[in-house]
Amino acid sequence: MKPTTLKDIAHELNISVATVSKALKGYSDVSSSTKKAVLKMAKKMNYIPNTVAVNLRTQQTKTLGVIIPAIVHHFFSEVMDGIIKEAKKHGYLVITLQSNENYQLEKKQLILLQQKRVDGILISLSNDTPNFDHINAILQKKIPIVMFDKIAKLVECSKVVIDDKLAAYNAVSYLIEKGYKRIAHFRGSLNPQISIDRFLGYRKALVDHGIPFDPKLVYICDNNDDFNDGYNNAKKMLEEHNDIDAVFTITDVVAVGILKYLKENDIKIPEDIALFGFSNWFMSSVITPSLSSVTQPGFKMGKKSTKILIEEIKCINKGIPYSFQTCVLPTSLVIRNSS
């Protein structure tokens, strides 16, 4: 009924627990005959080591904690895939927590992870995280944290990101070079760095190409419902302006919302209004018209973040110092029929 323990094996073999443990772990001070006997008995009794006990003894859990805003999101599920696969490669398990874009919850989840004594934490910040004391508090306890995607520039830890500003700059520059002149921007919430950076890239592209920046052309999508944010703001935009010829959006789903509204109102894409999304969701390649977008390497981001985190954990275990790194993953433009 109860799982087999070392003690059970030791008792069965009339030897000590210490010897059993050492035999199983390949210590050299165990004769090959007893080692063989232990191995055999362990298999016979279907021994499965109790990780909880091991964790307590070794003071590490071989477990990583992950906090993301939401898992039902193509990008984040790709990141999770990368995290889980890379962690597995190094013998780590991962506990997944969601912040639901909620600061209070994010704080609670961090405490939970500390209780669980995870060896390290991966986090992508929630939209309404106003300060980073909760992150710094953990860092200062020497628990390594790697931030990805939605990061805080001011926090001193390793980070894995894309160059959001540059990517946005390139996308908008492409639109401009294609001849579009009145380009609106559907941005995200005001807080997150990615939202700020993509906006800055948008603005810089305009200015650099001699197009005046008009704040009235910037719409904020911050209801955590990208599709309807896009749809509703598209309506609003068309009521307020009749000269928009392109829209650059914070993410593909917003663009799809716009697309829906435009099609319903017989506005041609890209002839009347062009669209350019961000993140390159699978969906974007199959809708009509297909949506131009910026690739955002979620899987790689997950893998790289995890790799860095595990390296840092290793350093801490060995007591050797390490320095924080910021890894910027490359992006590219995928040009499709919407622009």
Partner DNA sequence: AGGGATTCCGAAATCGTTTTCGCTTCTTTC
Partner DNA sequence: GAAAGAAGCGAAAACGATTTCGGAATCCCT
**Contact set with its own copies (CB under 8 A):** 1, 3, 48-53, 55-56, 61, 63, 70-74, 77-78, 80-81, 84-85, 88, 93-98, 111-112, 114-117, 141-142, 227, 256, 259-260, 263, 282-283, 286-288, 299
Q: Which of 177, 221, 223 is nearest to 198 (CA)?
A: 221
Tokens 């790289």 locate to 304
Residue 38 host element (H or E):
helix 32-44
Nearer to its own copies among residue 5 and residue 170 (C-beta): 5
Nearer to DNA among residue 115 and residue 323 (C-beta): 115
Q: What minimum distance in Å lies between the beta carbon of 79 and its own copies?
A: 10
Q: Which does 204 bind (CB under 5 to 8 A by kind): its own copies, DNA, none?
A: none
CA distance 206 to 110: 40
CA distance 1 to 312: 40
Q: Which of 320, 313, 273, 268 is nearest to 62 (CA)?
A: 313
Nearer to its own copies among residue 97 and residue 166 (C-beta): 97
Using the rule CB under 7 A, is 24 a contact of DNA? yes
Q: Which does 95 bind (CB under 5 to 8 A by kind): DNA, its own copies, none?
A: its own copies
CA distance 61 to 32: 30
Taking CA 31 as the corner, what is the angle to CA 29 and CA 36, rounded to the nearest 5 degrees? 125
Nearer to its own copies among residue 204 and residue 263 (C-beta): 263
CA distance 130 to 126: 9
Q: Which does 96 bind (CB under 5 to 8 A by kind): DNA, its own copies, none?
A: its own copies
Using the rule CB under 7 A, is 126 a contact of DNA? no
Nearer to DNA among residue 55 and residue 295 (C-beta): 55
Binding mask 36-75 for DNA (x = CB under 7 A): -----------x-xx-xxx-xxxx----------------
Tokens 């599920």 locate to 77
Q: Which does 93 bind (CB under 5 to 8 A by kind): its own copies, DNA, none?
A: its own copies
59-78: b (≥16 Cβ within 10 Å) or e = ebbbbbbbbbbeeebbbbeb
Nearer to its own copies among residue 14 and residue 115 (C-beta): 115
CA distance 117 to 138: 11
Nearer to its own copies among residue 43 and residue 216 (C-beta): 43
Q: What minimum distance in Å lies between the beta carbon of 81 and its own copies?
A: 5
The verdict on whether omega for the bond into residue 215 sits within 30 degrees of 0, i.e. cis, is no
The one-letter amino acid code at 30 reads: V
Report the 10 Å Cβ neighbour count for 19.
20
Q: Which does 154 bind (CB under 5 to 8 A by kind): its own copies, DNA, none?
A: none
- Rg of the chain over CA atoms, in angstroms? 26
Nearer to DNA among residue 91 and residue 130 (C-beta): 91
Nearer to DNA among residue 31 and residue 104 (C-beta): 31
Q: Which does 77 bind (CB under 5 to 8 A by kind): its own copies, DNA, none?
A: its own copies
CA distance 23 to 97: 38
Q: What minimum distance in Å lies between the beta carbon of 319 and its own copies?
A: 12
Q: Which does 18 bind (CB under 5 to 8 A by kind): DNA, its own copies, none?
A: DNA
CA distance 100 to 104: 10
The verdict on whether omega for the bond into residue 270 sits within 30 degrees of 0, i.e. cis, is yes
Q: Which does 116 bind (CB under 5 to 8 A by kind): DNA, its own copies, none?
A: its own copies
CA distance 30 to 217: 75
Using the rule CB under 7 A, is 328 a contact of DNA? no
Query: Where does this chain bind DNA (CB under 7 A)?
Result: 2-7, 14-19, 21-22, 24-25, 29-34, 47, 49-50, 52-54, 56-59
